[in-house]
Chain A
Amino acid sequence: DIQMTQSPSTLSASVGDGVTITCRASQHINKWLAWYQQKPGKAPNILIYKASTLQSGVPSRFSGSGSRTEFTLTISSLQPDDFATYYCLQYLTYPYTFGQGTKVEI
């Protein structure tokens, strides 16, 4: 199975800050990577797919990059609504695997 390693596990930031989250795959996954945002008590919501394509309706302050084994999610200017937990997901092959998550807190 493909292992996904996310870092950091927790990130403290302020409104207006730019932040970057990293996800590494244990083997090449080309660009078959998605990013999800999850708020407490809610289901996840997809932000980005194919490593860098923004899902419809997602604000442009979110961006993704990377390929093969190394990927990043960047939030250019944190807004109050962005404080949440973020997960990467590889979907090259089953079983799909998530990263451990990154909590972005104030």
Chain B
Amino acid sequence: QVHLVESGGGVVQPGRSLRLSCVASGFSFVSYGFHWVRQAPGKGLEWVAVISSDGENKYYADTVKGRFTVSRDTPKSTLYLQMDSLRIEDAAVYYCATVDRTEGTPLDWGPGTLVTVSS
């Protein structure tokens, strides 16, 4: 049974950095790619980034390209999102989700972690 838990959220000042983690269990971590999707308070869903199962391929939304970096640590079954140069508009709940191996869609999701960007 797929289980994803995000952590690392909190309050951070604009311009600072934060690293989110997503610990996976209940399935073969190495077999899956992962998405990051975020949702600002009271707003809709925004796709953020994806990393392939082997970690070789990564894609980003234009809004975070050059500032955010997605990575994975197989021995720890953990996905990361390094967020640098944070902006007010990056404040959101951040979700990790598995990549459906047939369709590529976000399939199984974690409960999310809240990032607040405020001075």
Contact = CB atoms under 8 A, between A and B. Distances in A.
Interface in B42-74: 44-47, 50, 59-62
Contacts of B62: 1, 95
A94 B51 CA distance: 12
B62 to A, nearest CB: 7
| Nearest 7 interchain pairs by C-beta | A43-B109, A94-B59, A96-B47, A101-B44, A98-B45, A95-B61, A34-B105
B52 to A, nearest CB: 11
Chain B binding surface SS class: strand
A100 B44 contact: yes
B103 A34 contact: yes
Interface residues of B, number: 23
Contacts, number: 54
Given A43-B110, A94-B50, A101 B105 contact: no
Chain A binding surface SS class: loop
B8 interface: no
A62 interface: no
Interface string B80-96: 00000000000000010
Nearest to B110: A43
Q: Please tell me the size bucket of the interface on A.
A: 20 to 34
Contacts of B15: none
